[in-house]
Structure 1
Amino acid sequence: MSFENRFVKVEVDRGLAVVTLDRPSANAVSLEVYDELRRTFHRLHEDSSMRVAVFTGAGKVFCGGNDVNDFVDLDFDQATEYLAHVRLTFNAMYDCGIPIIGSINGAAVGTGIVLSTLCDVRIASERAVFALPEIDVGVLGGSRHVMRLAGQGMTRLMMYTGRRIKAQEALRANLVDQVVSPDELMPTAMRLAEEIAEKSPPAIRLAKQGLNRTEMMNLKEGYEFECTLTAAVRRTPEAKEGALAFLEKRRPAYADRG
């Protein structure tokens, strides 16, 4: 798989991708970065050999938000076109067929907090902070994405004030799933990625599809859809191999990635 990006670095090893946002000094997102992120996660989705991705930021910042220079002179029509690129990027991450583990190494503000919410699991450094500061620079942010995790009260507080919250408060608000020391951040994310990568690839992809779809359904509709995916999993050779490996008390063949 080839990635010819300036600001989104990708390393792939045995179906595990590490995606690093690298745009000094604060990993601010420009239109070019949005398009690189969209293409990257679309390619990961399309490649059947991919199993899991870890997404992080280079240096001390996860993502410092949008490059404000892009917004200074935007009129209504230009803003509408720009935001279309933003939506396509966010959709590419949400719809990516493989799980994405967010390794949140520092500030995740504005677009940064939205990028973190689009990961399936979020592990944050103790030094991480989160904010929706758009109210201070004349735009509005991705509050709907944040609301999926943090709920109405915290989202409104962050949206109205632009206030930064620290990692432990983000943990209590369900914005992240685990907080670790800076030294343990990437090792923890990589251990989780390795654990997921050893599972049946078709089952993992169907599981993510089900989780995404049923999130918007009521209980009965969601479980009915999940049952159709269970039936679909049973058609795969990995399903039989997994059952046999369990009975024979051995590792399934698909867990060995070479």
Structure 2
Amino acid sequence: MSYENKFVKVSADRGLAVVTLDRPSANAVSLEVYDELRRTFHRLGEDKQMRVAVFTGAGKVFCGGNDVNDFVDLDFDQATEYLAHVRLTFNAMYDCPVPIIGAINGGAVGTGIVLASLCDIRIASEKARFALPEIDVGVLGGSRHVMRLAGQGMTRLMMYTGRRLSAAEALQAHIVDQVVSPDELMPTAMALAEEIASKSPPAIRLAKQGLNRTEFMTLKEGYEFECTLTAAVRRTPEAKEGALAFLEKRTPSYAIRG
């Protein structure tokens, strides 16, 4: 699987990918970066050997938001086309079949907080900061994505004021799931990725599919759909290996299948 990008760097080993947004100095997202992110997460999902991804930013910033230069002369028609690229990218991350762990190393502003919210699990450095500052630059942001995590009140507060939250405040608001020291960020994210990668690959992919699909279903609808996934996972050889390993009190062995 090839990942030849200018701004989105990918390294992969044993089914574990590290995706790094690298566009100095603030990892601001341009149209080109959106397209690179979309292609990257599509390819990760299509790669049957891939089990989990860690997504982070190069340097001291996770993502400083959109490149404001793109908006200076953007008219209505251009904005409509531009935002279509943005939606496709966000959908590619949300729908990526493998879990994405966000390692939020610094500022996650505007698009940055949306990219963080699209990860399955978010681990933040104590130096991370979160904001929806679009109200100050003549656009509106991805509040609907943030609202999945933070709820109505906090999302509206951030949207109306552009106020920045510290990592501790983001943890309290459920925007992130864990806060660690900067030195512990990548080791913590990688340890979690290794743990997920050790599980049955088809079961993990089906679990993510189920979590995405049932998120907006009623309780009964969601559990009914989840039952169909349970039946589907039982058809995989990994399911039998997992059951045998449990009975034999050993670690299951899940070979990477092409």
Structure 2 length-normalised TM: 0.99
- The answer for the alignment partner of 1:175 in structure 2 is 175
What letter is aligned with 2:251?
Answer: R
**C-alpha RMSD of the superposition:** 1.0
Structure 1 residues 140-198: Cα deviation after superposition (integer angstroms, max 9, x where no partner)? 00000000000000000000000000000000000000000000000000000000000
Per the alignment, in what secondary structure is the counterpart of residue 70 of structure 1?
Answer: helix
| Secondary structure at 1:17 match in 2 | strand
Q: Which residue of 1 aligns with 2:5?
A: 5
Q: Do the aligned residues in 2 keep the contact of 1:100 with 1:119 (CA within 8 Å)? A: yes
Structure 1 equivalent of residue 187 of structure 2: 187
Aligned to 1:253, the other structure's residue is in SS state: coil
Amino acid across the alignment from 1:56: T
Q: Which residue of 2 aligns with 1:225?
A: 225
- 1:29–1:63: 8 Å Cα contact kept in structure 2? yes
**2:139 paired residue number:** 139
Matched letter for residue 93 of structure 1 = M
CA contact (8 A) 2:17 2:50 kept: yes
Deviation for aligned residue 1:255: 6.9
- Provide structure 2 residue ranges, at least 5 long, that are not aligned to the other structure: none
Q: Distance in 2 between matches of 1:217 and 1:202?
A: 23
Per the TM alignment, residue 2 of structure 1 is displaced from its structure 2 partner at its CA by 1.0
* Amino acid paired to 1:24: P
Summarize deviations over 1:79-99 as a string: whole Å, max 9, x none: 000000000000000000000
Name the CA distance, whole Å, in 1 between partners of 2:59 and 2:172: 26
* In 2, Cα distance between equivalents of 1:47 and 1:255: 15
Q: Deviations over 1:103-150 (max 9, x none)?
A: 000000000000000000000000000000000000000000000000
Say whether the 8 Å CA contact 1:199–1:255 is kept in structure 2: no
Partner of 1:164: 164
| Identity within the alignment, % | 89
Tell me if the contact between 2:104 and 2:125 (Cα under 8 Å) persists in the aligned partners.
Answer: yes
Q: Is the 8 A contact 1:200 1:255 kept in 2?
A: no
Structural mapping, 1:87-236, within 5 Å: 87-236=87-236
Shift of 1:253: 1.3
Asked if 1:86 corresponds to 2:91, the answer is no
Shift of 1:256: 8.5
Supply the AA of the counterpart residue of 2:75: D
**CA–CA distance in 2 between the matches of 1:105 and 1:197?**
22
- Asked whether the 8 Å contact 1:198–1:256 carries over to 2, the reply is no
Distance in 2 of aligned mates of 1:17 and 1:256: 14
Deviation at 1:5, TM superposition (A): 0.3
Distance of 1:200 and 1:47 partners within structure 2 = 15
Question: Which amino acid in 2 is paired with 1:159?
Answer: M
How far apart in 1 are the matches of 2:2 and 2:204? 24
- For residue 138 of structure 2, what is the amino acid of its counterpart? G
* Corresponding residue number in structure 1 for 2:75: 75
Deviations along 1:213-238, one digit per CA (max 9) or x if unpaired, are 00010000000000000000000000
Q: Which one-letter code corresponds to 1:179 in the other structure?
A: V
Distance 1:162 1:46 in 2: 37
Q: CA deviation at 1:251?
A: 1.1
Does the CA-based 8 Å contact 2:49-2:256 persist in structure 1? Answer: no
| d(CA) in 2 for partners of 1:61, 1:203 | 34
- Matches of 2:249 and 2:193 in 1, distance apart? 23
Unaligned runs of 5+ in 1: none
1:33-53 deviation digits (Å, cap 9, x = unpaired): 000000000000111100000
CA distance in 2, matches of 1:96, 1:144: 19
- Preserved CA contact (<8 Å) 1:198 1:255: no
TM-score of the superposed pair, with normalisation by structure 1: 0.99
